Structure 1
Amino acid sequence: MRLSELNGKEIVNLQNGIRMGKIGDTDLIVNEQNGLIEYLIIPNSKAQFSFFRDRGYIEVPWSSIKKIGSDLIIIDLEHKKGLMF
């Protein structure tokens, strides 16, 4: 799959069904050694209500991605105390 094919896909958390954002709004952390994507960095729009006020993003390990469909990317990310998903 090409990176351009991911653009615009909605990211949904399997644990609670909440939409986390879109791939076009996220950053990708790529391992320079092997070229593999390691993390998605999703802006946390609810960060102002979070215990971690200075953390305006959520790091999603690539291994948490369970399915990439035609419109959605389903991730399995457990609710973390202090972060509002």
Structure 2
Amino acid sequence: MFNTEEAEKYDTQQALDFIIDENGNLQFIVAAVAGSKLGLFGGREYVEIPWNYVTKIGANVIVVSADKDKIKRARA
């Protein structure tokens, strides 16, 4: 997965998660930031991107276009 606005690659080797509302609509896509192993225990940084910023889905890549104020970041 790649973000064209921030020129940032997200790790799709890890499973992607999707947040779905009560009506079954996709709301967010959650992915690990590529190369973000943090700390002694291998913590990672994750991003939560609103689904409406997904611009293209291909066989090998998902392209998003969201600037940093639209992306929620978390560490786990």
TM-score between the two structures when normalised by the length of structure 2: 0.64
Consecutive unaligned residues of structure 1, counting only runs of 5 or more, are: 1-10
- Structure 2 gaps of 5+ residues are none
Cα deviation, residue 31, structure 1: 0.7
Deviation at 1:79, TM superposition (A): 3.2
Map 1:26-37 to 2 at 5 A: 26-32=16-22, 34-37=23-26
Higher fraction of helix:
1
Higher strand share: 2
Aligned length: 66
Identity level (%): 23
The residue type equivalent to 1:43 in the other structure is A
Runs of 4+ in 1 over 3 A off after TM superposition: none
RMSD value over aligned CA atoms? 2.9
Distance in structure 2 (CA, Å) of the matches to 1:13 and 1:26: 15
Aligned AA (2:61): L
Equivalent position to 1:64, from 48, 53, 57:
53
Using the size of structure 1 for normalisation, the TM-score is 0.59
